[in-house]
Amino acid sequence: MTSPRFIHRALLPALLVLAGLTVGSMAACTSTPSSESTGEYLDDTVISSKVRAAILGDQGLTIFKIDVETYKGVVQLSGFVDSAASRQRAGAVAADVTGVRQVRNDLVIK
């Protein structure tokens, strides 16, 4: 039969590993350094993807390069377009995407 001392020696490292994994997994559930929760980050990623798709799919836009970033539902458009009309249209297309609370249009006419 195994002695209690052997059981303690065998279980202690396993418990320490388990405790480390538990603490590590809990750290993954905390908010990101930008004070955005994991859920908010994922929501913003989805919004950015939908805005990019909407802009690329809009036949009325001539696009040079548009970058889309989203933070807590606020979309920032940056990059280059060919006209003031394209700049305005890109902002309107972004604003129509579900989940967008505000659009910050920093597009430059080139």
pLDDT at 84: 94
- Select from 82, 81, 70 the least CA-distant residue to 45: 70
3-state secondary structure of 55: helix
Give the predicted TM-score (pTM) of the model. Answer: 0.65
Q: Taking 90 as the threshold, does the pLDDT of residue 8 lie above it? A: no
104 or 60: whose pLDDT is higher?
104
Start-to-end CA span in the chain (Å): 82
Contact predicate 84/75, CB 8 Å: no
Measured distance CA(90)–CA(64) in Å, rounded? 12
pLDDT at 61: 84
Measured distance CA(1)–CA(16) in Å, rounded? 25
Give percent above pLDDT 70 in the chain. Answer: 68
Q: Using pLDDT thresholds of 50, 70 and 90, give the confidence band for residue 88.
A: very high
Measured distance CA(88)–CA(98) in Å, rounded? 18
Per the prediction, the chain carries an average pLDDT of: 82
37 or 77: whose pLDDT is higher?
77
51 or 65: whose pLDDT is higher?
51
Phi, psi (degrees; rounded to nearest 5) at 13: -60, -40
